[in-house]
Amino acid sequence: MALRHAVLAALLDGESSGYELAKTFDAGMANFWHALPQQLYLELTKMEKDGLIQGRAVIQETRPTKRLFSVTSAGLAELERFAESSAKPAFVRDDLLVKVRAVDSTSAKAVIEQLEERALIATAKIDIFERYMERQRGDADEQAFLNSGDRIGPYLTCLRGLRFEQETADWCRQTAHILRERCGANADT
């Protein structure tokens, strides 16, 4: 019952079709939620049935008909209820961390490569987040925007995403470096 709140939050940006959501959802949530298209379509259907969102069909001449969904007042009420309910603890799951944790008992080479690859991915995300944030705050500087902008939620979560990815990139590079040094000295394994 949590995906639906993430979907509601995403739809606050404006009405969207399942297809559009599916493409922007992960990035739009600044990587603090993830869902596959199939899940989103299913959830949107259920949410409409429950009255939290409302769909309207848009017939296109050259493309298949799509359904654009927007949050209803019942949806807003549900979000309010959600905001007031106690939050579950954050939930991180990362294969790469597991690999690093076990690195003393495996060969380090592959792990080093994956750390470097992950650093690059993180850097790319940093770029996306920074561009999004620049666009959001426009001419204002960050402080001014946060003090008086009228929609700061997405900006704030993006800030968290940005810092998370910066830490990820730093840690990956540093860890890769340390493991490489040791590989040079030791005989791998």
CB-count burial class (<10 Å; 0-12, 13-18, 19+) for 176: buried
- Cβ atoms of 58 and 22 closer than 8 Å: no
- Residue 36 binding result from its own copies, DNA, none, given CB thresholds of 5 to 8 Å by partner type: DNA
Query: Please, what is the minimum distance in Å from the beta carbon of residue 60 to its own copies?
Result: 29
DSSP string covering 27-80, please?
HHTTTS----HHHHHHHHHHHHHTTSEEEEEE--SSS--EEEEEE-HHHHHHHH
Give the residue, chosen from 104, 135, 139, 187, that forms a contact with its own copies under the rule CB under 8 A: 104
Structural element, H or E, at residue 16: strand 16-17
Which three-class secondary structure state does DSSP give residue 146?
helix
What does the per-residue mask of binding to DNA show for 134-173, with x meaning CB under 7 A?
A: ----------------------------------------
What does the per-residue mask of binding to its own copies show for 126-165, with x meaning CB under 8 A?
A: --------------------xx--xxxxx-xx-xx--xx-
83 binds its own copies (CB under 8 A): yes
Contacting range for DNA; rule: CB under 7 A; set: 62-70, 76-84, 98-106, 146-154 = 62-70
CB-count burial class (<10 Å; 0-12, 13-18, 19+) for 122: buried
Give the residue, chosen from 12, 15, 20, 146, that forms a contact with DNA under the rule CB under 7 A: 20
Query: Please, what is the minimum distance in Å from the beta carbon of residue 93 to DNA?
Result: 7
| Near DNA in 66-125, by CB under 7 A | 66-67, 91, 93
Query: Please, what is the minimum distance in Å from the beta carbon of residue 35 to DNA?
Result: 6
Closest residue by Cα to residue 66 from 17, 14, 105, 13: 17
54 binds DNA (CB under 7 A): no
64 binds DNA (CB under 7 A): yes
